[in-house]
Amino acid sequence: MVADRVYTETAQRARAALAGVQPAPGVAKPDPILLADKVKKNFGGVTAVDVDHVEVQRGSITALIGPNGAGKTTLFNLLTGFDTPDTGEWRFDGRSLAKVVAHKTASMGMVRTFQLTKSLTKMSVIENMKLGATQQVGERWWNGLFPFRWKAQEKLIEQRADQLLQRFKLDHMRNEYAGTLSGGQRKLLEMSRALMTNPRLVMLDEPMAGVNPALKQSLNEHIRGLRDDGMTVLFVEHDMDMVHDVSDWVIVMAEGRIIAEGTPEAIAANPAVIEAYLGAHQGKSLLGEETPS
């Protein structure tokens, strides 16, 4: 049994906005920041993703769950431009992303992390962070040779990076190589580096994978913190405790399709979800309650 949640003001607001939404697959939300329509992707003969319609509510924390091979990461790749769907349309904040390449989505305010953490091991933690800032003057080669053109901006970026490192409790590792960080710290670094882009939507691919239980709690706090700062969070996760703990809305995928949606409580009791995970004949428990002894 998961401990009762303490709802912050933003959490209450997010849940209130979603309170009137029917828990049905592909349901429309009052204020979607991201929506996908008829997005389909085949790999050879296998249909990896076949999403009829899905919306992500602005200012909420939405979990994307599903058994292995359900197409969660593929959907992430499609939405962020790392892969292109065969058909369909998808929009971020009202703008179509159909022709937008991966690196452009970040400057539009949509940033993602990866299932296998991609920390740049041979660069220091602070360099990792500074890389995340967008619109850097010194990133054009002809400016690179003239430090006076980018030094001022670099200073501001460094200040922001230091603040984020402090918030994510990585400031003591500031000048170490990112390769010396532990698995959990790398997850934190990747998340804080993503925040350097000033995103409105943060997409986290399995933020809890390989993280020890003590750090999980603080990661949860950090994810809630993103919503408190006005960001929308969409994350893929297998850890049901965490899903129950932090999400305002849960989307369930299986075999490439969206099979259920709803609040965490509604999903925990949804027979379609239990069937997808365990098969119909199995026990009822999925999200903590009534564990068979």
Partner 1 sequence: MDWLKILENTVSSLVGIDAAYFALAALGLNIQFGYTGLLNFGQAAFMACGAYGIGMTAQYFDVSMWYGIPIALAFVVILSLLVGIPTLRLRADYLAIVTIATAEIVRLFVRSVRFKRFFGGSDGINSFSTQFRDLSPFDPSKQYGVRPFQYSGYTFWTLIVAWCLVGVFGVVVFYLMRSPWGRVLKAIREDEDAVRSLGKNVYSYKMQALVMGGVIGMFSGMVFALDRGSVQPDNYSRDVTFYVLTALVLGGVAKVSGSIVGPMIFWGLYVFSDNTLRELTRDGGISVFGVGLLQKSQVGPVNYMLIGIGLMLLMTFRPQGIFGNRKEMALDGR
Calpha distance 90→37 (Å, rounded) = 6
Single residue of 82, 158, 266, 275 touching partner 1 by CB under 8 A: 82
The reply to whether 196 sits near partner 1 by the rule CB under 8 A is yes
The reply to whether 210 sits near partner 1 by the rule CB under 8 A is no
Single residue of 23, 26, 69, 138 touching partner 1 by CB under 8 A: 138
Single residue of 85, 88, 132, 264 touching partner 1 by CB under 8 A: 132
The reply to whether 289 sits near partner 1 by the rule CB under 8 A is no
The reply to whether 244 sits near partner 1 by the rule CB under 8 A is no
> CB atoms < 10 A from the CB of 78, how many?
24
Calpha distance 272→107 (Å, rounded) = 38
Q: Which is nearer to partner 1, 133 or 274 (CB)?
A: 133
Decide: 79 and 58 in contact? Cβ < 8 Å.
no
The reply to whether 136 sits near partner 1 by the rule CB under 8 A is yes
The reply to whether 192 sits near partner 1 by the rule CB under 8 A is no
Residue 278, φ and ψ in degrees, nearest 5: -115, -10
Residues 6+ apart with CB under 8 A from 114: 190, 205
Torsion, Cα 113 86 29 205, to 10 degrees, reads -20
Site for partner 1, residues 152 to 181, rule: CB under 8 A: 154, 177, 179-180
Calpha distance 138→153 (Å, rounded) = 9
The reply to whether 144 sits near partner 1 by the rule CB under 8 A is yes
Q: Which is nearer to partner 1, 60 or 105 (CB)?
A: 105
